[in-house]
Amino acid sequence: FGGQRFGEMEVWAMEGYGATYTLQEFLTVKSDDFVGRTKMYESIVKGEAPTQPGVPESFKVLVKELQALGLSVDLLKKVEDGATAPSASDEKTEAKAEAEEAEAAN
């Protein structure tokens, strides 16, 4: 799953063309997110609808750097009309998946 580097100037060029969905794909599921990349590849091969992008890995790194400086950062999720807020067990499952992903990367 190699790829080309998509740098800052390329991002600016895509912003200039208004390619927001392409940028969202490049900077989330096709970036450092190994699990997201794999799920995207599988959905393309199977002809299914692609998965929704999550939080970019670069943002997670930024949060960790801010936490190292002693700043507490909480990511809030928007709850749509008629939907229920995520439960604590959902958040624990998500945290466990992130920990497993970090373990797999090492």
Predicted confidence (pLDDT) per residue in 86-100, tens digit: 555 555 566 666 777
Instruction: Give 51's contacts (C-beta < 8 A, 6+ positions apart).
Output: 29, 36, 39, 40, 43
Q: How far apart are the first and last CA of the chain?
A: 17
| Domain boundaries along the sequence of the chain | 8-105
Per residue in 55-84, pLDDT (tens digit) is 777 788 888 999 999 998 887 777 666 655
**Separation between Cα atoms, residue 99 and residue 87, nearest integer Å:** 19
CA proximity to 101, closest of 51, 45, 39, 44: 39
pTM (2 d.p.): 0.45
